[in-house]
Amino acid sequence: MLERKMPSSYDSQPTEYASQEPKYKNEQVMTTTSGEIVTILHYLKEKGLYVVIKKDEPGIVSPAYKINPDELAEIEEKKS
């Protein structure tokens, strides 16, 4: 499995979710408030942030980034 790491220079402040248990699971596919489709890689409990990666076209790999839980939403299934 490909391992992705955040740049060591990337730091962030703890959110109001710091020290709380994660609401979403690793590998869960979510949408962001900006409309991007992302996959959760990891939850940083000490910061209260998720590490996610954007779902790209085949052959393209975007860097992982941290996101506040308020900016994530579950993808709703389309009713037919």
Q: What is the pLDDT of residues 17-71, one digit of tens each?
A: 999 999 999 999 999 999 999 999 999 999 999 999 998 888 888 889 999 999 9
With a cut of 50, say whether residue 9 has pLDDT above it. Answer: no
Q: Is residue 1 part of a domain?
A: no
Residue at 50 is within a domain:
yes
**Domain-embedded: residue 51:** yes
22 in any annotated domain = no
Residue 52 lies in a domain: yes
C-alpha to C-alpha distance for 70 and 34, rounded to whole angstroms: 12
User: Is residue 65 situated within a structural domain?
Assistant: yes
Range of the domain at 66: 29-74
| pLDDT interval class at 14 (50, 70, 90) | confident
Number of folded domains that form the chain = 1
For residue 10, being part of any structural domain is answered with no
Tell me, what's the pLDDT at 56?
80
Burial of 65 (0-12, 13-18, 19+ CB in 10 A): middle
19: in domain? no
pLDDT at 75 over 60: yes
